[in-house]
Amino acid sequence: MRGPAPGRLGLDPEPDRLRAWNLDQLNGHWRSWAEKSLSRKPPRKPLLPAHHVALARVLCPPRLHCTIATGQVITKESATEYALDTFAARWHPLIRMALAHRTGEPAPGGSPEPSELPRLAGEFTLELIADADHS
């Protein structure tokens, strides 16, 4: 990148607005998605089964949670480490499976069954939202 360092530009990142926006996203879009994931007809896309959609979405809410908690904006790959460090070990197989899905790696041993993934992703997201709301 060319030009002055970002800190010299005099930009105001408005951390309070960024935090509020991320909370709104979690409590709007992501809560709705999580609740639908718990239903008998979880979200899916044409030609994609629900468990693929669930895996593709698991790492998005931790990015928002991280921004709320730390002010940092991180990648989905970094969100994996953040989620593993922040949330209970019972979610680790789901989080690792989501990363494997993203990178095209085989699912790690001990991964949840595909039929369980939408429900697990919804439960994880709702727990994450509750934590963010109390941060």
Does residue 65 sit within a domain? yes
SS3 at position 116: helix
Degrees, nearest 5: CA angle 73-76-82: 75
Cβ–Cβ < 8 Å for 83, 98: no
Query: Does 1 reside within a domain?
Result: no
Please report whether residue 2 resides in a domain: no
- Cβ pair 83, 91 in contact under 8 A: yes
List strand residue ranges (DSSP E) for the chain, in order.
none
**Enclosing domain of residue 18:** 14-133
Q: What single letter denotes the amino acid at residue 115?
A: S
Q: What is the 3-state secondary structure (H, E, C) of 14-52?
A: CHHHHHHHHHHHHHHHHHHHHHHHCCCCCCCECCECHHH
Cβ-based burial of 74 (10 A; exposed 0-12, middle 13-18, buried ≥19): middle
If one compares 34 and 46, the residue with the highest pLDDT of the two is 34
Quick check: is 9 in a domain? no
Answer whether residue 95 is part of any domain.
Answer: yes
Tokens of 51: 């468990």
Give per-residue pLDDT as tens, 112-128: 999 999 999 999 999 99
Look up the pTM and report it.
Answer: 0.90
Altogether, the residues listed in the chain come to a count of: 135
- The structural domain count of the chain equals 1
pLDDT class of 1 with cuts at 50, 70, 90 = low
Within a domain: residue 8?
Answer: no
User: Does some domain include residue 126?
Assistant: yes
Q: Is 4 inside any structural domain?
A: no
| The two structure tokens encoding residue 77 | 């790959």
Question: Across residues 100-111, what is the average pLDDT?
Answer: 92
